[in-house]
């Protein structure tokens, strides 16, 4: 008879409690699917007395996650503590060094120490699984690492932060300003009291660093990613996007170019008829472009106890089956370093919103500056003042420009020249357009 796979869980927050409840509910099905029973043998959390709505009477209790990681009574260590440093880092290192496989939902830890942890797992011939670290219940890690192991990837991009997607959805649908939608997201629990990590794009960047490594064989390096958040987006931008056939999303994008792998996080205009444009609210989505096949889009809940626990349990199930592969799809020693690609080299279409001074020669001056940088325009829209343009200044006219493919450097140089000419008020709004 095959002995049960004994699991130790460090962290009994929303995800940890949901995981233990799910294992209890699915006990028979898990044993049938995985070929052996899965048993929660030990746990670790700050408070033993707290009521978590789960039965822990038969489970060994640890107060130190490192001690749990080294405990001889467990086969798999599940890290749900969070954070890039200790105690999560020390506990994961201890488990791997002790010959135990690790399952983690910790994107911050992987974004900072993923390559070293992968090398340690390979050295001790154990698994390091992290499906839950990116996209919640969306099986994007296994899709890239295993399901599409024979494909050559061209681009991967996605909505990787539900908080930002919820805010942009509310702004678009209800014509509300950013600050009001953020406050509502905080009230509903979608945004933290200090939301900067989400709304400034850093959460998305950590997840993108992991996806880029899986897709392109690069070392996980968050510092190589250009990051821009959504706090500058105004209702006027969303209204203009809608009229022009676009929708604004915060995307994480990693794409193979002739100059290397370009990695960026920023508000992006996507065609309304694309799959990713239909993803609203707190839902996440990832689109994969690979050579020889049409784009593949995976959509699902990106956070929440049950969704994340589902991904964690899937990873545990693989270990129970005896499935083990290189954490990032190839040996850690073969992962290539990636340098931060200057955004000035980025090529694509651009949305530009200007407050042009209402005086003779303004349009000609703007057109001249764009022409000097060889920027061609697909469309020009002059908007009437209204609620969406409430930030417009007296004596100025909102003007929307959509460019054909050009470079970031050309756009920035042209707008700098327009600014020096003093034919616009305030700062131009620039949003990149992603082909899809």
CATH code of the domain containing 401: 3.30.70.260
Indicate if 322 and 357 belong to the same structural domain: no
Query: What residues are annotated to the active site?
Result: 207
Q: Which helix or strand (DSSP H or E) is residue 306 part of? A: helix 305-321
pTM over 0.85, yes/no? yes
Indicate if 44 and 101 belong to the same structural domain: yes
Indicate if 190 and 241 belong to the same structural domain: yes
- For the chain, the domain total comes to 3
**In contact, 108 and 131? CB cutoff 8 Å:** no
- On whether residue 339 sits in a domain, the answer given is no
Alpha helices in 373-420 (DSSP H): 408-420
Structure tokens at 294: 């049409």
d(C-alpha 399, C-alpha 8), whole Å: 59
Indicate if 357 and 407 belong to the same structural domain: yes
- On whether residue 143 sits in a domain, the answer given is no
Indicate if 165 and 296 belong to the same structural domain: yes
- 274-289 CB burial, b ≥16 within 10 A, e <16: bbbbebbebbbbbbbb
Indicate if 103 and 13 belong to the same structural domain: yes
Indicate if 288 and 311 belong to the same structural domain: no
For 70, the 3-state DSSP assignment is helix
Indicate if 68 and 157 belong to the same structural domain: no
d(C-alpha 293, C-alpha 79), whole Å: 36
d(C-alpha 366, C-alpha 373), whole Å: 11
10 Å CB burial of residue 206 (0-12, 13-18, 19+) is buried
Question: 436 vs 149, 227, 275, CA distance in Å?
Answer: 23, 21, 9
10 Å CB burial of residue 221 (0-12, 13-18, 19+) is buried
Q: What is the pLDDT of residue 387?
A: 43
231 has a pLDDT exceeding 70: yes
Give the model's confidence band at 19: pLDDT under 50 very low, under 70 low, under 90 confident, else very high. very high
Q: What is the pLDDT of residue 385?
A: 52
- Beta-sheet pairing, 76-79 with 5-10: parallel
Q: What is the pLDDT of residue 51?
A: 83
> Torsions phi, psi of 321, nearest 5?
-80, -10
Residues with Cβ within 8 Å of residue 114, at least 6 apart in sequence: 209, 210, 213, 220, 327, 328
Query: 8: which strand partners?
Result: 42, 77
CATH code of the domain containing 255: 3.30.360.10
Q: Using alpha carbons, select from 277, 227, 283 the residue that is nearest to residue 252.
A: 227
- For the chain, how long is the longest CA-to-CA vector? 87
- What domain range is 22 assigned to? 5-137+307-334
For 21, the 3-state DSSP assignment is helix
List pLDDT tens digits, range 60-117: 999 999 999 999 999 999 999 999 999 999 999 999 999 999 999 999 999 999 999 9
d(C-alpha 178, C-alpha 267), whole Å: 13
List pLDDT tens digits, range 137-172: 999 999 999 999 999 999 999 999 999 999 999 999
Mind spelling out the 3-state secondary structure of 79-139? ECCCCCCCCHHHHHHHHHHCCCEEEECCHHHHHHHHHHHHHHHHHCCCCEECHHHCCCCCC
For residues 392-411, average pLDDT: 87
Average pLDDT, the chain: 93
d(C-alpha 429, C-alpha 341), whole Å: 22
260 has a pLDDT exceeding 50: yes
Q: What is the pLDDT of residue 383?
A: 65
Q: What percent of the chain has pLDDT over 70?
A: 97
- 229-268 CB burial, b ≥16 within 10 A, e <16: bbbebbbbbbbbbeebebbbbbbbbbbbeeebbbbbbbbb
User: How far is residue 380 CA from its own chain's centroid?
Assistant: 33
For residues 396-406, average pLDDT: 93
Q: What is the pLDDT of residue 1?
A: 65
List pLDDT tens digits, range 318-335: 999 999 999 999 999 999
Q: What is the pLDDT of residue 244?
A: 93
- On whether residue 406 sits in a domain, the answer given is yes
Q: Which of 241, 276, 300 is the last residue of a domain?
A: 300
- On whether residue 142 sits in a domain, the answer given is no
- On whether residue 11 sits in a domain, the answer given is yes
**In contact, 220 and 209? CB cutoff 8 Å:** yes
- On whether residue 46 sits in a domain, the answer given is yes
For residues 357-385, average pLDDT: 88
Indicate if 290 and 417 belong to the same structural domain: no
Indicate if 78 and 102 belong to the same structural domain: yes
d(C-alpha 160, C-alpha 303), whole Å: 10
Indicate if 296 and 311 belong to the same structural domain: no
């Amino acid at each position: 008879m095959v002995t049960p796979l004994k699991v130790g869980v460090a962290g009994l927050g929303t995800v940890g409690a949901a995981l233990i409840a799910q294992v209890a509910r699915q006990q028979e099905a898990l044993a049938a699917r995985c070929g052996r029973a899965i048993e929660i043998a030990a746990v670790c959390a700050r408070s033993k007395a707290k009521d978590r709505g789960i039965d822990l009477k038969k489970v060994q209790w640890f107060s130190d996650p490192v001690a749990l990681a080294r405990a001889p009574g467990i086969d798999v260590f599940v890290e749900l503590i969070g954070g890039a440093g200790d105690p999560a880092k020390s506990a994961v290192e201890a488990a791997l060094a002790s010959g135990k496989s690790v399952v983690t939902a910790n994107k911050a830890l992987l974004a900072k120490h993923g390559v070293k942890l992968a090398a340690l797992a390979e050295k001790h011939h154990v698994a390091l699984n992290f499906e839950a670290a990116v996209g919640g219940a969306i099986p994007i890690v296994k899709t890239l690492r295993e399901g599409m192991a024979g494909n050559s990837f061209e681009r991967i991009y996605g909505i990787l932060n539900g908080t930002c997607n919820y805010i942009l959805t509310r702004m678009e649908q209800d014509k509300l300003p950013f600050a009001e939608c953020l406050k509502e997201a905080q009230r509903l629990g979608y945004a933290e009291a200090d939301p900067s990590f989400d709304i400034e794009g850093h959460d998305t960047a950590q997840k993108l660093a992991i996806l880029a490594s899986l897709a392109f064989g690069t070392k996980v390096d968050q510092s190589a990613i250009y990051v821009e958040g959504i706090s500058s987006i105004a209702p006027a931008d969303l209204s203009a996007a809608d009229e022009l056939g676009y929708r604004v999303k915060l995307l994480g994008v990693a794409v193979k170019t002739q100059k290397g792998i370009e990695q960026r996080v920023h508000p992006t205009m996507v065609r309304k008829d694309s799959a990713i444009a239909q993803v609203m609210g707190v839902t996440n989505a990832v689109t994969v472009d690979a050579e020889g096949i049409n784009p593949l889009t995976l959509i699902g809940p990106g956070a929440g106890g049950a969704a994340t626990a589902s991904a964690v349990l899937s990873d545990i199930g693989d270990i129970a089956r005896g499935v083990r592969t290189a954490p990032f799809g190839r040996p850690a020693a073969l992962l290539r370093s990636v340098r931060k690609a200057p955004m000035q080299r980025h090529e694509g279409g651009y949305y530009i919103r200007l407050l042009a001074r209402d005086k003779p020669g303004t349009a000609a001056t703007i057109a001249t500056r764009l022409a000097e940088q060889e920027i061609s325009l697909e469309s020009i829209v002059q908007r009437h003042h209204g609620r969406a343009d409430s930030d417009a200044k007296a004596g100025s006219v909102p003007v929307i420009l959509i460019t054909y493919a050009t470079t970031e450097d050309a756009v920035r140089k042209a707008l700098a020249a327009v600014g020096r000419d003093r034919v616009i008020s305030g700062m131009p709004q620039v949003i990149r357009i992603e082909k899809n």
